[in-house]
Amino acid sequence: MTFTIATSVDDALAAMAGGARPVAGGSDLVVGARHGKAPLPDSLVAIDRLSELATIGHVDGRLRIGALATHAQLMEDPRVIASATGLADACALVGSPSTRNVGTIGGNVMNSSPAMDTGAPLLVLGADVELRSSTATRTLPIAELWTGPGRTVATADELCTAIVLPAARPRSGSAYVRLEYRRAMEIAVVGAGASVGLDEDGTIASISVALSAVAPTIIAVTGLDALVGRAIDDAVLVSLAEAAAAQATPISDLRATDGYRRHCVGVMARRAVEAAWRRALGENIAVPVNRALGIGAAR
Amino acid sequence: MSANNENVNVQLRVNGVDYPVTIGHGRNLVSVLRTEIGLTGTKEGCDDCECGACMVLLDGQPVNSCSYLAAQAEGRSITTVEGVMDGADLHPLQQNLLDAGGVQCGFCTPGMIISATALLARTPAPSEEEIRIGLSGNLCRCTGYTKIIEAVARTAAETAVPTSTLGR
């Protein structure tokens, strides 16, 4: 039963080895505890002052995002907007200014909500997650991190310390869009992230799509490799929308029925790919795509 | 929930004044501000990080104090609505809210003032869209927002907000 404020990453990892749970902004942990979702852990270590985990920068050509980078920071970071635009789209949609000020990328990823906004763009961008404990550091593809709602492969003593993105290929673009009923303090009804890379002749060199809020975790749409080499046209967009809808396994809840989610996630997948494609062609679509293109809730 | 009763001694700097408090480590900031320190301007609304009635500035940034651990705020600068006033004088934004009819029941008003103050400090001449985004974490069930937005726009037009009151 302790509360400590860590002054170094090693401090935090030692506390976690002793059973403490990390708290950064608290926007999932504290709200969850106050609503009986999960009691506040007996032992907490505050990690929000570890400035070494809040930096964003290029390391060996890859964009390394410290786990404490906030949504507010990421949505405006020029390096993120330039090479991971879909992630900026997602961060700009999270909550409100105040939640974006405290909410961190590490917390969002490790909270493992199937409806998280940052997950789909990170998956299509090929992100790796760095997990550190007092004894070891490992890096794994983000696709291998999530095992279910609120569950990850991380052990209790492992802290997410960074998200690492591969260098963006030339003529590529990414985007994240979501269906929403209001413009703030919203959770994705469904969402889709897309990353598109083009060959010099404009045909598809690479394409990936991931979906939010239609499965127990964020999922990647499979089978899209068949589209490589084709020009993006209506037939391609229809087929990938159908693939997204077919691979979704949504639930019905107070925000939408399963059938509505299944239909709309196809629409969102198509729109995410269209926006990513336009960005790959060099068009400057402002972050977030939801506002720039009028997707989601009208005012 | 014994953990939440585990007492820690912390010193909170609120509106430029240091307050030593002994609190359970699970206590949220809004409850400590209201019951230990006695600053009741900050309201608890939804207790779910949704409504913004509990908004305070933490090192100049708006934060929902219902979902922020008080113990975690040690060493940071906290500004509540009480700290926005200039001595006995209302902040121009407060006066404009009154003049524009942006206050009805008043429960959301402290949070609105905090969010708007932070917005104007960062964006002294915001567009209507920027005002709406700046206030998007604050719910008002009375006014329909139009008069609140008008008050913020009027404040921006009248004067640059004195950032010295922001507790930075």
3-state SS of chain B?
CHHHHCEEEEEEEECCEEEEEEEECCCEHHHHHHHHCCCCCCCCCCCCCCCCCCEEEECCEEEEHHHCEHHHHCCCEEECHHHCCECCECCHHHHHHHHHCCCCCCCCHHHHHHHHHHHHHHCCCCCHHHHHHHCCCCCCCCCCCHHHHHHHHHHHHHCCCCHHHHCC
Answer whether B111's CB lies under 8 Å from B93's CB. Answer: no
The CATH code that applies to domain A172-292 is 3.30.390.50
Measure in Å the smallest separation between the Cα of A98 and chain B Cα atoms.
Answer: 5
Answer whether A39 sits within 8 Å of B136, measured CB to CB: no
Facing residue for B69 by CB, picked from A30, A101, A185: A30
Tokens 């990850």 appear where? A152
Question: Would you list the domain boundaries of chain B?
Answer: 2-83, 92-166
- In angstroms, the first-to-last Cα distance of chain B is 35
Cα-trace Rg, chain A: 19
Answer whether B28 sits within 8 Å of A96, measured CB to CB: no
pLDDT surpassing 50 at residue B3? no
Average of per-residue pLDDT values in chain A: 96
Answer whether A173's CB lies under 8 Å from B38's CB. Answer: no
The CATH number corresponding to B92-166 among 3.20.20.70, 1.10.150.120, 1.10.4160.10, 3.40.50.10070 equals 1.10.150.120
Distance CA A245, CA A143 (A): 20
* pLDDT tens-digit series, residues B90-149: 999 999 999 999 999 999 999 999 999 999 999 999 999 999 999 999 999 999 999 999
Closest residue on chain B to A25 (Cα): B68
Distance CA B42, CA B18 (A): 18
Size of interface A-B (CB pairs under 8 A): 97
Predicted pLDDT at B5: 59
Answer whether A30 sits within 8 Å of B4, measured CB to CB: no
Answer whether A177's CB lies under 8 Å from A295's CB. Answer: yes
Angle at B147 (CA atoms; ends B141, B150), nearest 5 degrees: 140
Both tokens assigned to A254: 């107070």
Torsion-angle region of A296 (φ positive above 0: left; ψ -120 to 50: alpha; else: beta):
left
Answer whether A26 sits within 8 Å of B72, measured CB to CB: yes
- The Cβ-side half-sphere exposure at A246, using a 13 Å CA radius, reads 10
Answer whether B115 sits within 8 Å of A183, measured CB to CB: no
Answer whether A156's CB lies under 8 Å from A148's CB. Answer: no
- Render A151-180 in DSSP notation, one character per residue: EES--TT-EEEEEEEPPPPTTEEEEEEEE-
Closest residue on chain A to B5 (Cα): A1
Measure in Å the smallest separation between the Cα of B48 and chain A Cα atoms.
Answer: 6
**What's the ipTM?**
0.91
> What are the beta bridge partners of residue A132?
A137, A159
Preferred mutation among A37, A45, A98 to probe B, highest tally of B CBs within 10 A: A98
| CATH superfamily of the B2-83 domain | Beta-grasp domain (3.10.20.30)
* pLDDT tens-digit series, residues A16-70: 999 999 999 998 888 888 777 788 898 999 999 999 999 999 999 999 999 999 9
Predicted pLDDT at B21: 97
Measure in Å the smallest separation between the Cα of B63 and chain A Cα atoms.
Answer: 5
Predicted pLDDT at B168: 44
Answer whether A97 sits within 8 Å of B1, measured CB to CB: no
- Please state the rounded mean pLDDT for residues A116-136: 98
| CA B1 to mean position of chain CA atoms | 29
pLDDT surpassing 90 at residue A2? no
Distance CA A73, CA B137 (A): 17
Predicted pLDDT at B2: 40
Question: Would you list the domain boundaries of chain A?
Answer: 1-49, 172-292
Facing residue for A96 by CB, picked from B3, B26, B136: B136
Measure in Å the smallest separation between the Cα of B115 and chain A Cα atoms.
Answer: 8
Distance CA A184, CA B128 (A): 16
List the one residue out of A273, A279, A217 whose CA is nearest residue A240: A273
* pLDDT tens-digit series, residues B23-62: 998 999 999 999 999 999 999 999 888 999 999 999 999 9
Facing residue for B62 by CB, picked from A39, A40, A101: A101
Angle at A88 (CA atoms; ends A86, A89), nearest 5 degrees: 60
pTM given for the model: 0.94
> What are the beta bridge partners of residue B89?
B86
Both tokens assigned to B55: 């908004």
Distance CA A277, CA A90 (A): 17
Preferred mutation among B4, B25, B133 to probe A, highest tally of A CBs within 10 A: B25
Contacts of A70 in chain B (CB under 8 A): none
Strand B55-58 vs strand B17-24: parallel, antiparallel, or unpaired?
Answer: unpaired
* pLDDT tens-digit series, residues A74-125: 999 999 999 999 999 999 999 999 999 999 999 999 999 999 999 999 999 9
- In angstroms, the first-to-last Cα distance of chain A is 46
